[in-house]
Amino acid sequence: MSQPAARLPLWVDFGLIPLLNLVAAFAVAGLVVALIGENPLDVARIILYGAFGYGEGVGFTLFYATNFIFTGLAVAVAFHAGLFNIGGEGQAYIGGLGVALVALGLDPYLPWWLLAPLAVIGAALFGALWAWIPAVLQAKRGSHIVITTIMFNFIAASLMAWLLVDVLNPGAGSMSPGTRFFDAEAVPPRLSEILAPFGVDLGGSPANLALVAAVLAALGVWLLLWRTRLGYEIRALGHNSSAAAYAGVPIARVIIIAMLISGALAGMMALNPVLGDQGRLLLEFPGGAGFVGIAVALMGRSHPLGVIFAALLFGMLYQGGSELAFEKPSISRDMLILIQGLVILFSGALENLFRPALARIFAPRAA
């Protein structure tokens, strides 16, 4: 007789367990902080204040969260199809190329509100393109998607370095590898400008309309997965590929489509930093957001709403962490990576740590 799977109330499964995992991660992180001679409560206060304590901090938290929502959704969609897309980083990077090409080509002619939708398409198209080759290799040849997407991250990095140094670089007067600045008229306004008339002060934070796009994307992913036939086929494939074949799901095609959607979502992450913040394409702009997306999807249990919350948490850690590094020189940025690592460890790898005990407490009694 196999071990019966215990059923838990939804709020335990999606609320209490992630919370306990998080508390455990922070407790261990606190121990490490105490070991290097700092007061963990003090550190927690600085992180929380840095992330949520004042307008500009909130703005930065939202800015980082926007990146992570996109990359988290990208990983989540692939997860549902049973695919582990490690290539969010590369897909976001190439997505940035799509945004930049649209902006560089059209910024003399179009106002931002006409250019932005085209930039969205460019980002999605280029991100999807970068996921397409690994997807086809997986679907038609069985090449493992984890390996191929990792490789494509390196290829993307090399390609972009060449493009930004030798091809798209304006040359004279440019000190950094990147494109020229887009025309100011082509860059959408920041949230701080939009919300200022309503008395909301986000300071000089770079949060921009990409946040709205990210939330809409989350809604779209939710609709796709649970309200459409394609989403049904993606989930059937991810849970049980033999059953999907039995149901007549065209497996190779659904693998490719799921990866294209995943790549498009990762590519759209570029809208936030490239179009919304810097106003030009810079070397290594994704800054690891593609990899954080994996943790975000794990923690958010591949559900769009969970991804939004997990992205906010990681945005908070990023922003609060910068603040912390500034206030406490003894704590380096590496400490933040440690805390993120612990969050991933407890919410991903050790997901079942507290489950058996909670199952005993909450599961309905059987006769």
Partner 1 sequence: MNLDKTEPTAVPAAIELIGVSKSFGPVKANSDIHLRVAKGAIHGIVGENGAGKSTLMSILYGFYQADSGEIRVNGQPVRIRDSQEAIRLGIGMVHQHFMLVENFTVLENVLLGAEGGALLGKGKAEARAKLAELAREHGLEVDPDALISDLPVGAQQRVEILKALTRGAEILILDEPTGVLTPDEADQLFEVLRQLRAEGKTVLIITHKLREIMAITDAVSVMRQGRMVGTVRTAETSPEQLAEMMVGRRVLLKVEKGPANPGPAALTVENLTLRDGAGVERLKNVSLTVRRGEIVGIAGVAGNGQSELLEAIAGLRRPTSGRILLDGTPIPHDPRALREMRLAHIPEDRHKMGLVLKFETRENSILGYHLDHRYGGALFDRAAIEAECQSQMEAYDVRPPNSRLKTANFSGGNQQKIVLAREFERGPHALLIGQPTRGVDIGAIEFIHRRIIEMRDAGKAILLVSVELDEIRSLSDRVLVMFDGRIVGERSPEADERELGLLMAGVTGAGERGAA
CB of 359 to partner 1, least distance (A): 5
* Cβ neighbour number for residue 80 with a 10 Å cutoff: 24
Closest CA to 249 of 241, 260, 258: 241
How many Å apart are CA 126 and CA 159, to the nearest integer? 13
* Min dist. Cβ of residue 131 to partner 1 (A): 24
- Residues forming contacts to partner 1 in the complex (CB under 8 A) are 1, 3-7, 223, 227-229, 232-233, 235-236, 239-240, 242-248, 356, 359-360, 363-367
Largest CA distance in the chain: 80
Non-local CB neighbours of 54 within 8 Å, separated by 6+ positions: 203
Asked whether the beta carbons of 265 and 255 are under 8 A apart, the reply is: no
User: Which residue, 226 or 326, is less far from partner 1 as judged by CB?
Assistant: 226
Please report how close the Cβ of residue 2 comes to partner 1 at its closest, in angstroms.
9
What is the CB neighbour count within 10 angstroms for residue 41? 11
* Closer to partner 1 by Cβ: residue 142 or 171: 142
Query: Residue 196 carries which DSSP code?
Result: G
Measured distance CA(266)–CA(92) in Å, rounded:
5
Residue with Cβ nearer partner 1 (7 or 333) = 7
Q: 6 or 161, CB closer to partner 1?
A: 6
CB of 13 to partner 1, least distance (A): 12
Quote the CA–CA distance of 96 and 118 in Å, as a whole number: 13
Tokens of 62: 């939202």
Q: Which two tokens stand for residue 284?
A: 């290594």
User: Cα separations (Å) of 328 from 43, 84, 179, 277, 339?
Assistant: 8, 37, 35, 27, 16
Tokens of 355: 């489950």
Instruction: Please report how close the Cβ of residue 236 comes to partner 1 at its closest, in angstroms.
Output: 5
Q: How far is the CB of 367 from partner 1 (least distance, A)?
A: 8
Q: Which of 80, 280 has the CB closer to partner 1? A: 80
Shortest CB 148 distance to partner 1, Å? 23
Neighbouring residues of 247: CB distance < 8 A, sequence distance ≥ 6: 233, 236
CA 153 remoteness from chain centre? 15
Q: For partner 1, which is the closer residue by CB, 212 or 243?
A: 243
Helix (H, G, I), strand (E, B) or coil at 279: coil
- Scanning the structure block, which residue is given the tokens 């988290």? 72
**Toward partner 1, which CB reaches closer, 181 or 232?**
232
Tokens at 302, concatenated:
């591949």
Name the residue nearer to partner 1 (CB basis): 164 or 237: 237
Give least dist CB 256 to partner 1, A: 18
